Structure 1
Amino acid sequence: MASVNVERTDGGFVARNARGAEVAIGGGDDQGVFTPVELLLAAVGGCNIVTVEPLTAQRDHRLVRLAMTVQADKAESNLLGTVTITYDVELPEGDDKAGEVYRAVARRVHEKYCTVSRTLQEGVEVALELPE
């Protein structure tokens, strides 16, 4: 089971995992924090990139640079439209297969292995429990 704790603190809001990592959460005008929508986009990007990187490296095609931008416009005031992942890569010199391998791996990760992207694509129920 995946789980995080989100709570209000003296400085705003923070999400914490069981390993002690924290991320500050706030509104769009708050400096130094992520908004909830930005965290969703970061989760999509993070899930993809942390899967693509080792798979390309395992195939002996380690990319010189591997980055991405993840963005989405609002379809409605409280609903995102299409989430778009745009890779920014630098291929190793002299490795004629690196681009082909990276693109194949990135497609496979997006279609099959990234839990976050697949969950958004398939849709999932978000249940609310309100203790008495």
Structure 2
Amino acid sequence: MTADSLRSVTVERTGPGMFTATNSRGDTITFGTGSGGGFTPVELFLAAIGGCSAADVDVATSRHAEPTEFSVAVHGHKAEDAGGNHMTDLQVAFTVRFPGGEGGDRAAAILPRAVKTSHDKLCTVSRTVEAGTPVAVKVIDTH
């Protein structure tokens, strides 16, 4: 592991059930428990899966043609069992359309391969989920 490989965010409580995540570039996103609107952590998780693959696919296809439609729907079921809460049946569905013509035809032709390559090799988020990477948790200070 190197300094170049490190990715991090800091999450701060901003009010009852509300939090703000800040990345190393100073960008923020606010989220909460769902009782006051906004995204929940599970919804952010789903967005991260879809966003990661969307970015990969966009890079591969938009060099040939700008899409006329590009959306990614991600869903799954929240489950609870003896092991605790988790998501099951995660699915990612791309709806992408390109204009007619040589560039659009080329972009449409490589779309399935771009989606597969993102899933199989490139998308750090979904590949980490599928690998089952452990998450270490610790308490730094209580006073």
Q: Structure 2 length normalisation: TM-score? A: 0.82
- Which residue of structure 1 aligns with residue 124 of structure 2? 115
For residue 18 of structure 1, report the CA deviation from its aligned partner.
1.4
Partner of 1:51, secondary structure, is helix
Structure 1: distance between partners of 2:42 and 2:127: 17
Partner of 1:40, secondary structure, is helix
Amino acid corresponding to residue 101 of structure 1 in structure 2: I
- Which residue of structure 1 aligns with residue 3 of structure 2? none
- Which residue of structure 2 aligns with residue 88 of structure 1? 95
Structure 1: distance between partners of 2:67 and 2:126: 22
Determine which of 40, 46, 55 is the counterpart of 1:41: 46
Amino acid corresponding to residue 30 of structure 1 in structure 2: G
Contact 1:61 1:98 in 2 (8 A): yes
Gaps of 5+ in 1: none
Determine which of 97, 103, 128 is the counterpart of 2:137: 128
- Which residue of structure 2 aligns with residue 74 of structure 1? 78
Query: What is the aligned-residue identity percentage?
Result: 37
For residue 118 of structure 1, report the CA deviation from its aligned partner.
0.3
1:9 pairs with 2:17: no
- Which residue of structure 2 aligns with residue 27 of structure 1? 33
Partner of 1:82, secondary structure, is strand
Count the aligned residue pairs: 130
For residue 61 of structure 1, report the CA deviation from its aligned partner.
4.1
Contact 1:56 1:101 in 2 (8 A): yes
Gaps of 5+ in 2: 1-5
Contact 2:70 2:97 in 1 (8 A): yes
